[in-house]
Chain A
Amino acid sequence: MSEAARKINDDLLRPLLRTSWRFYLLVALLGSVVVAGLVAWVWQMWNGFGVAGLNNPVYWAFYITNFVFWIGISHAGTLISAILRLVNAGWRRPVTRCAEVITAFALMIGAMFPVIHLGRPWLAFWLIPYPSNRLIWPNFRSPLVWDFFAISTYLTGSVLFLVLPMIPDFALVRDRTTGTRRKIYGVLALGWRGTPKQWHRLESAMQIMAVAIIPVAVSVHTIVSFDFSMAPVPMWHSTMFGPYFVAGAIFSGIAGLIIAMAALRKFLHLEDYLHPVHFQNLGKLLLMMSLLWAYFVFAERLTVWFGNESAEVQVLRVTQKGTFAPLYWTMVVCNFVVPFTILSLRRLRTISGCVIASFCVCIGMWLERFLIVVPSLGHKYLPYSWGTYRPRPVEIMITISTFAAMTLLYTLFSKFVPIISIWELKVGAQAVEEPVVQHAEHAIGEARP
């Protein structure tokens, strides 16, 4: 066994085999925030939707903002991983699993919000396409049913895309542990041995899934945008909402990925695997998405302003100059000014710089979702129906708890599963070693008389 492979095994299995008190403390802290969120949700169910700030005419607010935000965050993982896998980018190896996990957990959290927003979540099964007693089926012409199919497909595909390359790593952990842990990882390894046939089938399956998951990922956020753009609401009914949402989703997703990678690097001591070049490459991607986002916002705003349709201009005005202006300009600073300034200068495109830009982007993109949802609903066509929205503590608590839930799930995952694909990293190390050996042999050959 090469020294590099031994080091990879030791470094990446260390978090699974050793647990410090800091882990328990972090889990307890995050767990308590999640429990507080659950209590808030139960409180809302017990007392009715009146405890939330939702009221006529703003029936969609924090919960739908969170839904769109988390579905957006989920776009980094599987989409980036699939693209990098298809183009066989060598630097993807330490990044892919970190990214794919984000997709799986962010989708789960995002998909919870329509259920929380139902008010009576025990009726969520009405979305499932099965005939009721009166043979009434879900209405497939409704964008909300499209969401169900899109998110279910993406979640299934993303979880499988995450789990399949984990099988060889589960086998590795199985062989390195004892007792109950060995049994559990043995079950998860599905009897993996590592014959050439198994390797080929795994790689074929991953290629097929990578091809299939990219259009699914694009479709998911396009369909989420249809929840808005299919409605004749000012500044929602737009043909550009699909690509605008997809671009925004990838933008926030990359930011989420950079933050997660930086945290893993620091707390799991993965400096030898997550190099500055990974952050620089993702930082360039983030910069490109920031420019693309600015382009979309400019195109949207210019069209509305130039069209001068009264209801739309009212929403434009209220966001840029009115009550929502502080949030709007914070969004512009967070999504464009800060990332553009930091990431366009090579000197500032360090790990810390990328993390600062990413935090700003996450805040900015959450505000963007909020500013898409609330001002339009509060300023529809007839001024007598105008209204406003103020979030209530129950909504704020549930929102905070989802961020804690994401961190908690990520922490637990990195405790029980190697957060970097060990076998893929070894393939990468092997690919690096071989040219070096060949080069050395070639040099020796040339030096011989």
Chain B
Amino acid sequence: MSSVYALYPTADAAQRAVNNLHAAGVPDEQITIVSSEPFEEHEFANREKATWMGWIALAGAVLGLITATWLTSMTELAWPLKTGNMPIVAWWPNLIVMFELTMLGGILAAVITLLVTAQLVRRRPAFYDPAVSDGQILVGVAAAGDPATVERALGVADVRRA
């Protein structure tokens, strides 16, 4: 099974190609779209929008808060020296470290989620065409079961195989 794709100069043409593929019975998850900018106004660009990233960032922030709470109070209790007439576990100054590590936890969790869910930090996949960087929009089907149908649905003369 080979991958079949075509390049389109405009987002409208790409949208028509996606609609044709749907009409030809190609399921959404088999269709690959690659563009050099997000076309949010078009239907094809609004696939796979749902994400848990916000919740994961929140979990990262909570983890950062717990770590900071443990780090500050544990270290103060490990060597219980009274400093500046403050209590041994001094919550006012500890809050600053807790706040910073909470935010750091949230930020790092969001970035790690991005790297994992957007499938970055991998070898560059084969199903790509550098012409995308020139503004072309790639629409194709990875491992097309019936390449002829896909080629017809793509509706352009210059259909490529990867």
Task: Judge if B2 is at the interface, Cβ distance under 8 Å.
Answer: no
Q: Which of A213-221, A305-313, A334-342, A405-413 contacts B (4 or more CB under 8 A)?
A: A213-221
Q: Which of A9, A156, A171 is within 8 Å of B107, CB to CB?
A: A156
B85-129 near A? 1/0 per residue, CB < 8 Å: 010001001101101110110111011011101111111110110
A168 and B114 CA atoms in complex are apart in Å by 13
Chain A residues with Cβ under 8 A from B9's Cβ? 1
Chain A residue with minimal CB distance to B45?
A196
A190 and B114 CA atoms in complex are apart in Å by 12
Q: Which of A136, A194, A427, A434 is within 8 Å of B132, CB to CB?
A: A194
A199 and B34 CA atoms in complex are apart in Å by 10
A261 and B6 CA atoms in complex are apart in Å by 40
Q: How far is the CB of A136 from chain B (nearest CB, A)?
A: 6
Q: Which of A6, A150, A168 is within 8 Å of B135, CB to CB?
A: A6
A160 near B111 with CB under 8 A, answer yes
Chain B residues with Cβ under 8 A from A149's Cβ? 96-97, 100-101
A197 and B119 CA atoms in complex are apart in Å by 9
Task: Judge if A140 is at the interface, Cβ distance under 8 Å.
Answer: yes
Given contact pairs A196-B49, A226-B96, enumerate 6 new A-B contacts (beta carbons under 8 Å): A135-B79, A146-B97, A160-B107, A196-B35, A197-B117, A209-B110
Chain A residues with Cβ under 8 A from B122's Cβ? 190-191
**The 9 residue pairs across chains A and B that have the minimum distance between CB atoms:** A1-B135, A175-B133, A137-B75, A199-B38, A175-B130, A201-B118, A205-B114, A190-B120, A197-B48
Task: Tell me the count of chain B residues lying within 8 A, CB to CB, of chain A.
Answer: 66
Q: How far is the CB of B127 from chain A (nearest CB, A)?
A: 8
Chain B residues with Cβ under 8 A from A348's Cβ? none
Q: How far is the CB of A259 from chain B (nearest CB, A)?
A: 29
A172 near B36 with CB under 8 A, answer yes
What are 29 sample pairs from A and B whose C-beta atoms fall under 8 A apart?
Answer: A1-B135, A9-B135, A129-B75, A136-B79, A141-B76, A141-B86, A141-B93, A146-B96, A153-B103, A160-B111, A171-B133, A176-B133, A191-B121, A193-B127, A194-B34, A194-B36, A195-B32, A195-B34, A196-B33, A196-B38, A199-B35, A199-B45, A201-B118, A223-B96, A426-B36, A426-B37, A427-B37, A427-B40, A430-B39
A429 and B54 CA atoms in complex are apart in Å by 29
A152 and B114 CA atoms in complex are apart in Å by 21
Residues of A contacting B: mostly: helix
Task: Tell me the count of chain A residues lying within 8 A, CB to CB, of chain B.
Answer: 63
Task: Judge if A212 is at the interface, Cβ distance under 8 Å.
Answer: yes
Task: Judge if A202 is at the interface, Cβ distance under 8 Å.
Answer: yes
Q: How far is the CB of B111 from chain A (nearest CB, A)?
A: 5
B36-68 near A? 1/0 per residue, CB < 8 Å: 111111001111110101100100010000000
A149 and B78 CA atoms in complex are apart in Å by 20
Chain A residue with minimal CB distance to B120?
A190
B75 near A140 with CB under 8 A, answer yes
Task: Judge if B84 is at the interface, Cβ distance under 8 Å.
Answer: yes
Q: Which of B34, B46, B61, B72 is within 8 Å of A193, CB to CB?
A: B34
A335 and B132 CA atoms in complex are apart in Å by 48
Q: How far is the CB of A85 from chain B (nearest CB, A)?
A: 14
